[in-house]
Chains A and B, each alone.
Chain A
Amino acid sequence: MKTATQNAAVAFDDIGMTFPDGTEALRNVTLSISKGEFVTIVGPSGCGKSTLLRIASGLLEPTAGTVEVDRQRLGYVFQDATLLPWRTVRQNIELLAELHGIDAAERHSLSEAAIELVGLVGFENHYPKSLSGGMKMRTSLARTLTLKPPLFLFDEPFGAVDEITREHLNDETQLLFKSEGFAGLFITHSISEAVFMSTSVLVMSSRPGRLVERFEVPFSYPRNPDIRFEPDFALLSGEISKALRGSHS
């Protein structure tokens, strides 16, 4: 059983989660993600997607099954940007490195690189209150990038920004995935976002959350934003949508 998951950045084995109030959030979830894989889970809201991420990160203990993951340098991008309002963009980006005890000089060079990577040059000394939603999210991404995590967990990070910004961020995320080569686990309820960025898309049913279908996305990286309008893209999105509806009823 373990041999299959040895190279995985994260491996869930038959995870089940029942909350103390009796709600069964997850059942029989088995999934492993390796370096170079970007897996997206789509599902209706409240189906337990976020619970799976909390389990992966260790914020939550599953009530059944085991999860294997190196939590030393975990990248976790939250639903909200979760920036500290009293810190500037740069200070926010350096926070995680600070918590990991990295010295000031190295912190600076790490943040410098991350700022460049997400296109925040010129905004280093801004406070979060003067940033747009998209820029806050970029800061949050940059903060995670400083740790160079082998595994990125994304908890519906672009749900709160507008459509245009979301597409830009999707584009930037897949470019980051291409250049940094991490293993990604992305949670969303947007099918187009899922197909655009991922190597595979998994459909999760609701109550209890189970992985019901897996789709491989054949497009190569880096992906052109225009593939969203190609027939293959639409076809795949349609199939996923159908699977999603099937799981929901």
Chain B
Amino acid sequence: MTMQASPESETRESETSTLVEAPEEAADTTAPEVDQGMPAVVPDDAPKAYRLKSRQREAVETILPPLALGAALIGLWYYIAYGVLDETRRFLMRPPHQVLEVGFLDSENISDQLNALWSSTQVALIGLLIAICIGIFLATVMSQAKIVERAVFPFMVTLQAIPILAIVPLIGFWWGYGRTSRLVVCVIISLFPIIVNTLFGLLSAERAMHDLFTLHRANRLTRLRKLMFPAALPAVFAGLRISAGLSVIGAIVGDFFFGRGEAGIGQLLRRYANNLNGEELLASVILSSALGIVVFWVFGWLQTLIIGKWHDSRQV
């Protein structure tokens, strides 16, 4: 009865030199055990039943709490719209069904918003791409020469510490008030996590692994390609997920200040607020956060796709 463990766990735990045969052994011993009679029946089923139950329970426990909280928040939303605000001030917070009707189901409004959202998405993604290129390049150079790291790092921290509002006039002054400036904002906001995480990742390979490469006379490039880059990947992805979210924020913030040319979702938000279009405003806010969530999720998915096979990353 003790052999009922799955073949996989059997092979992992078994340490003998007959390891290869272990899965078959486990399978073989299961059959006669069941034949031996009644006592085997209950323990045989019990773990499976237990597992099934707990999996269902786990699913319920994962899905139910956010659903409940979501419902509660919508309830609160209705309460504020009808219970707190009187008729004349209800434009401040339209109830959910009106937001849905005016903001999402009105074809003109939704196409305006989706166009603007698409424009912002492009800015966010191009900005992120530029930040990735610059970030990984800088981190790689820093990992190769301590002196570069010492020289560059303080400036990176400074760049990170500058409130974006403080340099908005400067960015407008240098790059105008259109798309280029929006991209610049995006890059500045999303660059830092990429640099820091990539550098941390590149330096994360164990000393013994470096010794191994040293012993076998690997040159700098080989070491970088076969040891440091792959070792950096988990940290790089952690940085990417943060930066991806930031790049969406960057694109929207950039929109607020540099609205010339194609309107982004930030521009639209501003226009709706100015015109007291409460429904559209809330709809746009929801769409913006949806974009952030999608981008974050896409990078999480990419991470699993690329390094999930070998790396145990606990992800949300």
Contact = CB atoms under 8 A, between A and B. Distances in A.
Query: Are A and B associated in one complex?
Result: yes
Interface of A: 57-59, 71, 74, 76, 78-80, 82, 84-87, 95-96, 98-100, 119, 121-123, 127-132, 134-135, 161-162, 164-165, 168, 172
Contacts of B12: 130-132
B17 A86 contact: no
A84 B20 contact: no
Given A127-B309, A129-B312, A59 B214 contact: yes
A130 B16 CA distance: 16
Contacts of A87: 310
A99 B19 contact: no
A78 B208 contact: yes
Given A80-B208, A119-B20, A129 B310 contact: yes
Nearest to A81: B208
A39 B12 CA distance: 32
B93 interface: no
A58 B215 contact: yes
Contacts of A172: 17
Contacts, number: 73
B217 A99 contact: yes
Contacts of B231: 84, 86
A82 B209 contact: yes
Contacts of B16: 168
B290 to A, nearest CB: 33
Contacts of B87: none
Contacts of A131: 12
A101 B227 CA distance: 16
Contacts of B211: 59, 76, 78
Contact of B15 (A100, A123, A134): A134
Interface of B: 12-17, 19-20, 206, 208-209, 211-218, 222, 226-227, 230-231, 233, 307, 309-312
Nearest to B20: A122
Nearest to A98: B226
A57 B15 contact: no
A165 B211 CA distance: 26
B17 A119 contact: yes
B214 A78 contact: no
Nearest to A96: B216
Contacts of A84: 209, 226-227, 230-231
A87 B310 CA distance: 8
A80 B209 CA distance: 10
Contacts of A168: 15-17
Nearest to B17: A119
Contacts of B214: 59
Nearest to B211: A59
Contacts of A99: 213, 216-218, 222, 226
B212 A119 contact: no
Contacts of A85: 310-311
Contacts of B218: 99
Given A84-B230, A99-B217, A99-B218, A78 B212 contact: yes
Contact of B215 (A59, A123, A164): A59
